[in-house]
Structure 1
Amino acid sequence: MLESMSPQRPGRRFDRGHTDDLMSFLAVSPSPYHAVAGAAERLEKAGFRQVEETDAWDGAAGGRYVTRGGAIVAWYVPEGAAPSTPYRIMGAHTDSPNLRVKPLPDTGAHGWRQIAVEIYGGTLLNTWLDRDLGLSGRLTLRDGSTELVSVDRPLLRVPQLAVHLDRSVNADGLKLDKQRHMTPVWGLGKVAEGDLMSFVAGEAGVREKDVAGWDLMVHSVEPPAYLGRDRELLAGPRMDNLLSVHAATTALITVATGDEPLDCVPVLAAFDHEENGSQSDTGAEGPLLGNVLRRSALARGGTFEDAARALAGSVCLSSDTGHAVHPNYAERHEPGHHPVPNGGPILKVNVNQRYATDGAGRAVFAAACERAGVPWQNFVSNNAMPCGTTIGPITAARHGITTVDIGVAILSMHSARELCGADDPHYLADALTAFLEG
């Protein structure tokens, strides 16, 4: 079936349990490091075991995963899988645009204590104004170990200038300087070097003198919530792209613990640093995924030839959020392609390869949605609007794998708080499960 199913729902199939679980995952994943830890915990409960990249791997059947910072790759080897058995990969990313703490964080002026931050990714700056913010991330200790930290209560705030002092703001629009206007306040008094690190170390339960480095960021402490008269919408933080990470983790666990025979090795690959180009050791352009796929084939007794055959037969669904049609700005969208919330996952196409989808990939995605009984929609950008990109083209080019860009249509992308249809997360998870089942 090559034509998309109608975006109008044939009947309510809302799965409260799945969406509730997504909300819980979003709430406990304020940073990429927390998202990886949350996904790993779910995999462990399903029987997966962690392996270290520095250890020798065996080729026995079962589920395994590796973590590196804000990235996780997990895979399940079915009984009887050959070294040349192809992979079915679900790609996603764990990072979201936000404000990140600078190396010398303690600053302030005029009796205010503030935290120096750097803008990460293409965030909508105004969405961080006048919002209660927490602090999260990881601390690196002198012995090389890491400690996650999350201060999930109102701690910081980026105060907006009152309209009385900016009389033209509603007529001319809000203009924010990233350096001067985005520094959060967190108290009053004299600025003292080491204040923030002393506080964070205490929150993490470690000694300040043991902290050698940190990767910290701010997050909105407002929890995810259903929205609308019929609660058919979901509002929450970091849905770009933890919604996909959650759906892919769910799908992998479903096929690994189910009775459906598998003719592939299903894989979850959730990377960091997608929002700033993926060029890192934990990004999609790094070696992590390729190393895992080749080592898995070799651990099962394969050769270079077997590993190459496995990759040549593999397919990746790169899942990331896309744009739902905005009711107040419909002219910004391509007139013939208006994805709507609760219309099912979107197939993302760009002939200039900002998305990796081609006709063959379209057929794979359509077959998965048909098998799952899930509606789906087409997405393409307005020719007058620059098109974003994903890990899809990077995965296709780096590994020579047929890659299809898909996702869930949302509003307010890159805001501190985004909006999607409450049915769509389960639609996506169902489609990914069917994709892994072949």
Structure 2
Amino acid sequence: MSAPSRFDRGHTDDLMTFLSASPTPYHAVANAAERLEKAGFRQVAETDAWDGTSGGRYVLRGGAIIAWYVPEGAAAHTPFRIVGAHTDSPNLRVKPRPDTGAHGWRQVAVEIYGGPLMNSWLDRDLGLAGRLSLRDGSTRLVNVDRPLLRVPQLAIHMDRNVTADGLKLDKQRHLQPVWGLGDTVRDGDLIAFLEDEAGLARGEVTGWDLMTHSVEPPAYLGRDRELVAGPRMDNLLSVHAGTAALASVAASGADLPYIPVLAAFDHEETGSQSDTGADGPLLGTVLERSVFARGGSYEDRARAFAGTVCLSSDTGHAVHPNYAERHDPTHHPRVNGGPILKVNVNNRYATDGSGRAVFAAACEKADIPFQTFVSNNSMPCGTTIGPITAARHGISTVDIGVAILSMHSARELCGADDPHLLANALVAFLQP
């Protein structure tokens, strides 16, 4: 039998709790905020004037959170150290007119968000969660975390060629989940059901942002429980690690030469172009206001940004045992091998040599290994918030993450030690 892990699994246990409690970006940032509140952070409203006193603060906007900790005596031109991540994952999202059905089945009309592995959503028990916008202008989170929906796959008897030709799914026709029986489609049924679930009166909900999620909880996997299977690791694994790292650094009482920041954005899976995405102004506005609240000038802002470094943390691809030829022949990241440094010379990742040195120093300080990911030259490379952050704000950015399998599946797979190793590297980066 393999030797037991020498790493603390408490962090991974907590990650699994975080994943289960965060079926949507809105829940993820609410849970991150709750953890930061316990670490002494306080929420500030974007519409209020900010003060420049020391301590931890955070801003919530939709499915995004920006949190930062100002050390005692921090100058206006003190640089930032940022952990960047994203809160959204590919899934099925409810359309504006959700009530539909045919042939005695009641269904929910959904749209495809991002680039999910669509077959992974078939024959899976799904819950429904998201944000309800109310008539009085407030919002309410809702989470039906029990089997409610299902996308039934066509039986093999009616698709005899599926084994030889592969599964072919039409995004419009084949992915609408069922949630009951009935010959009559009644507009308003789904929202009325959710109003009941949320304890709201009928007619209170005037808008919604709803999405499906697998209700199967995360679990350790393997003979020696050295793997973890679960949903939304891309990229709540990084959000959780960044939240834990920021809280740890803030509680350490260390004399920090930088202002540590967590920036977790929404809509990365669809290009980041929104008011809560990395391509929007949110991060730059928050950082600038922090400088100005401490009495700084535009010159101080320029000096702070010039000395700032961001680690863009997102999951990457572990070498797949059944498809090793799809990977670069000299770069085979392994699960439980430590975090990965992601490199692409065409700037699909933002890492360069100086960024590599920053990350290597953090890993050396934390006494953990790290690996490098480079795509096979014949395969197109994905991208992250890293290049967007670097280009939009003029901030030195390094792309890193954790190597996983089944990326964009409804249920992904990582090594049980890697989340803790990533968090340790982030602590060392934020507290050099």
TM-score normalized by structure 1?
Answer: 0.97
1:29-68 superposed Cα distances (whole Å, 9 cap, x missing partner)? 0000000000000000110000000000000000000000
Q: Distance in 2 between matches of 1:16 and 1:381?
A: 30
Indicate conservation of the 8 Å contact 2:84/2:311, yes or no: yes
1:376-427 superposed Cα distances (whole Å, 9 cap, x missing partner)? 0000000111000000000000000000000000000000000000000000
Q: 1:15: how far off?
A: 1.4
1:203-245 superposed Cα distances (whole Å, 9 cap, x missing partner)? 1111231111000000000000000000000000000000000
Write out aligned runs for 1:13-412 (5 A). Answer: 13-189=6-182, 190-412=184-406
Q: Distance in 2 between matches of 1:406 and 1:97?
A: 20
Q: Distance in 2 between matches of 1:11 and 1:62?
A: 39
- State the one-letter code of the partner of 2:282: L
- State the one-letter code of the partner of 2:106: R
**Alignment RMSD:** 1.0
Q: Distance in 2 between matches of 1:192 and 1:16?
A: 48
1:118-164 superposed Cα distances (whole Å, 9 cap, x missing partner)? 00001000000000000000000011100000000000000000000
Q: Structure 1: which 4+ aligned runs deviate by more than 4 Å?
A: none
Q: 1:11–1:110: structure 2 CA closer, same or farther, 3 Å change rule? A: closer
- State the one-letter code of the partner of 2:265: F
Indicate conservation of the 8 Å contact 1:14/1:422, yes or no: no
Q: 1:10: how far off?
A: 11
1:166-193 superposed Cα distances (whole Å, 9 cap, x missing partner)? 0100000000000000000000012211
Indicate conservation of the 8 Å contact 1:410/1:419, yes or no: yes
Indicate conservation of the 8 Å contact 1:84/1:309, yes or no: yes
Q: 1:260: how far off?
A: 2.4
Q: Could you list the runs of 5+ residues in structure 1 that have no partner in the other structure?
A: 1-8
Indicate conservation of the 8 Å contact 1:247/1:426, yes or no: yes
Indicate conservation of the 8 Å contact 2:9/2:420, yes or no: no
Q: 1:12: how far off?
A: 3.2
Q: 1:11: how far off?
A: 8.6
Q: Distance in 1 between matches of 2:314 and 2:6?
A: 22
Q: Distance in 2 between matches of 1:400 and 1:437?
A: 22
Pair 1:424-2:415 in alignment: no
Q: 1:16: how far off?
A: 1.7
Query: SS in structure 1 opposite 2:48?
Result: coil
Indicate conservation of the 8 Å contact 2:83/2:311, yes or no: yes
- State the one-letter code of the partner of 1:275: E
Instruction: Report how many aligned residue pairs link the two structures.
Output: 430
Q: Distance in 1 between matches of 2:6 and 2:151?
A: 40
Q: 1:307: how far off?
A: 0.8
- State the one-letter code of the partner of 1:27: S
Identity of aligned residues (%): 79
TM-score normalized by structure 2?
Answer: 0.99
Q: Distance in 2 between matches of 1:370 and 1:14?
A: 16
Q: Distance in 2 between matches of 1:417 and 1:347?
A: 24
- State the one-letter code of the partner of 2:260: P
- State the one-letter code of the partner of 1:376: F
- State the one-letter code of the partner of 1:165: M
Q: Could you list the runs of 5+ residues in structure 2 that have no partner in the other structure?
A: none
